[in-house]
Chain A
């Protein structure tokens, strides 16, 4: 078990990252602050629960994810987000801009190389977070529910009261936007 003052210090260090993750999912500062606070309290109230089998960071992020899922279930529709019609239009425009009228791409996709080297770099994840922040609110939330909270498509549809085909469209748009953003801000820079 980590000594309490040391645990406090490590949690303090982790706090900004936890807040960023909560904000990426909840898109609301107050809710994000609340779940991070609850997470840190849960760890501090029962420090013996951390067995050391995983890293402290993995353990704390696991608790944060449960807290976020609890909040989403509790307040579900209350904190639902909607993207404006302008945003809807710009999403459709984005997809159209990538393809010619015959359905083929304007520009060939670049090879991003082996994931191994990329996923070892802290700066890559900072770039990914920035790209996630740029997603329209509803699109970003749905993508984070699927890929960060690792909820099933059925669970997400139930929580947000949307159809599966609507969900697939939102996830597709999110992935296209993230691909464009990473290609421009990470892989494009590496090629220079």
Chain B
């Protein structure tokens, strides 16, 4: 699958993540910084819960009327002289974009940050079509220069690298000779990128929200690179997931506020750019040709089903920034370009259970993600729903687990069986018991006792104590 990263198995990826102490420190630090900023930015509104409800309402309305708004959007893009292409699959999207590149005889493409183009592996498709592809978001640029290291976070793609590592990458690949000061590193990248902008044939962006009423689309950024991507090259292609639109600017304003506050704890980002179609006669800049590629790639099969609310997502990453599992293992452990709770819900839906069946289990169902989601996606419930589908519809649970759960179900639904069974727990466990604890458990308990002690069973079950004590008395 195109959204898949690497070939390692899940446990190996997690093991590598856990062993990467630098990355974990960076992730923990980033979670704390972004968490505090998000809290401040959401609290200052005074009625954040109302904002969330409003955001959810907008997203639900759009999804329930998606056909209408997509048609309105494409009509309005076309009315402004743009081309619209609906791609049912990643391959269709890539073929169309390759076709545009060929027709323009394009040699160089500059890109602004876009997860959907990562999802469809557009870069390699463009390279196959003979184009050089330059990522111009600083984080994405660093990753690209570092032999296409995959993103580990949907908003901060190079979160797993520190400035020293970035300096080393720049030194090795770009002949950079200065220090690891962020300003110097950024300046170097800017100088390099400026040349690329000037000589690019095509600019490609993603899309935060398209506005159906006007045929516009918005980009929410902090670096300004997207504005160069959309103003310098003669041809511009915008790629959007088919659900990423709003009816009018009024709804866009709400969602942009939810996005910037949830994502980076800002009231607004440095640039919020809204573009409509190609350059018009009296305009001095902007592309001569504009293409909007609307990507389905599995989304329409989520619509109308029990996972539909995942399409509410506005890609803010607040869920990732509070996730205690992501905190310990980092983004690459998920094996998908979509990591964290949203990735664990979305990846199996878009990429299938064959590739991503472990992800719904990489959660304690603690609910931190659900609590912060600005558009109220019940993420932990959807993760649980995946488990149910894996067990009950797909029949993919391991045999031993199925048997254990069957036995549990029988014991838990039969008080007589439970009482009889648990009566013998202390004697069954006694060979493993050392005083009041079990340090080396048998069977699955071993996985627990590898790192933790387990309490020895009560010598007398609580229920027996209760039954045996003086009725109504306070002494045991």
Q: Do A and B bind each other?
A: no
Chain B residues with CB under 8 Å of chain A are none
Chain A residues with CB under 8 Å of chain B are none
